[in-house]
Amino acid sequence: MEKEMKMIIEEKTYREYAEAFVLKESDDAWHLQKDRFYVEWWYFDVMNSDGSLVRGQFFIARHLLRPGYLRNGVRVTHVTADGRENTLEKWFPPDSFKASKEVCDVQINHNYLKGDLSSCKVFIEEDDTFLDLNLNNDISGVRSHACFGDESKCMHWVVPQPRGGAWGTFRKGNETYEINGIGYRDHNWLNFPAMDTIEYWDWGRVYDDRFTVIFADIVTTRSYNRARIKPLLIFDPDKLIYLTSETDKWSLDKTGHILDPVTKVELPERHRIMLFDDDPSLEINLNLERVFQRIDPLANYNSLLRWLIRTFKGKPAVTSYHSTGTGKISLPNQEYTLNCSAVHELVRNK
């Protein structure tokens, strides 16, 4: 018998902030869950003015075979303007993790990510990798969540920083890179078996000089009738002007698929975002520039468990990409041409 997916937030469209998705400081705090499948991560990225990229995560999750064991770690990637990539991924024992349940203050070993709804500081120093990053917020953030099967199994998405200034330093060995660009930060947690529930999600953000677009296309598995969750948010330039979760309001079309030689996952060369509304209407065409920060969600599992999951459950992979393109947005009595740069991610569980 197929399960029925239930969404806590109804499919609606807003043209200004509503109380349901206004952030509180505690939304960005630690949300430890007792469930065996609990996973939580704090995410950040920067698109630098010189064309380079920074992207990273602080994460914690229960071990599948030892639910009382809380795996945790840090990950950061720097990609130079000419495509050279440096990545650090390091895992730590449970006692290395400390976090507040009231505000955003996360420490893993001596690395930390802490701040409030207006700014954030990220510090990572492990082996020969160093990151000192400051993030300021230009736009009020949002929160959202959806439940699967019943109201106890949820995925939460908090965006404290849709867009803001970012500056700092990244160092790998003897090479030092200055960071100066546009930053983004979000925070997610869930407590259900993602591989049994979500087939894939494709999400990201698109920056124009003036406008910011954030999107996600989450597709559930066959047992949930492949139902979709599709938030789309538009900001101009310092406020939310549009938010919809109505699946028929917009589309994300992907064409020209290529095989990534590392993950063996098909990736689209082109994305097209279309919003079918009168106020506003939107079209964005993105072309793939580079693939980076490929993540194997099973990398920290023993070889037997990895083989069992990949043989009988699926081949999960997380792949990030940077795209550029053009578009247009129509507001009442005004149409704007968009010159776009985007960082987005494909998460596949099957």
Tokens of 283: 């079209």
Question: Could you tell me which of 171, 144, 223 has the C-alpha nearest to residue 54?
Answer: 171
Whether 72 and 94 have beta carbons less than 8 Å apart is answered as yes
DSSP 246: -
Whether 148 and 5 have beta carbons less than 8 Å apart is answered as yes
Question: Could you tell me which of 146, 140, 124 has the C-alpha nearest to residue 54?
Answer: 124
In this prediction the pTM is: 0.94
Specify the residue for token string 């075979």. 65
Specify the residue for token string 């993105």. 286
Question: Could you tell me which of 203, 297, 196 has the C-alpha nearest to residue 254?
Answer: 203
**CA dist 231 to 162, 218, 346, Å?**
14, 9, 16
Rounded Cα gap, residues 80 and 330, in angstroms: 34
- Backbone angle region of 8, left / alpha / beta, with phi > 0 → left and psi within -120 to 50 → alpha: alpha
Within 10 angstroms of residue 16's Cβ, the number of other Cβ atoms is: 9
Q: Strands 266-267 and 175-190, how do they pair? A: unpaired
pLDDT tens by residue, the chain, 350 residues: 444 555 445 789 999 888 888 899 999 999 999 999 999 999 999 999 999 999 999 999 998 778 788 999 999 999 999 999 999 999 999 999 999 999 999 999 999 999 999 999 999 999 999 999 999 999 999 999 888 877 888 999 999 999 999 999 999 999 999 999 999 999 999 999 999 899 999 999 999 999 999 999 999 988 888 889 999 999 998 899 999 999 999 999 999 989 888 877 888 999 999 999 988 999 999 999 999 999 988 887 888 888 888 888 888 889 999 999 999 999 988 999 999 999 999 998 87
Within 10 angstroms of residue 95's Cβ, the number of other Cβ atoms is: 9
13-348 topology per CATH? AttH-like fold (2.40.370)
Q: DSSP letters along 39-87, please?
A: EEEEEEEEEETTS-EEEEEEEEEE-SS-TT-EEEEEEEEEE-TTS-EEE
Tens digit of each residue's pLDDT (9 = 90 or more) over 297-312: 888 788 888 888 888 8
Residue 23 DSSP SS3: coil
Specify the residue for token string 């795209």. 323
Tokens of 218: 């989450």
Kind plus residue range of the DSSP H or E element containing 308: helix 303-312
Burial of 198 (0-12, 13-18, 19+ CB in 10 A): buried
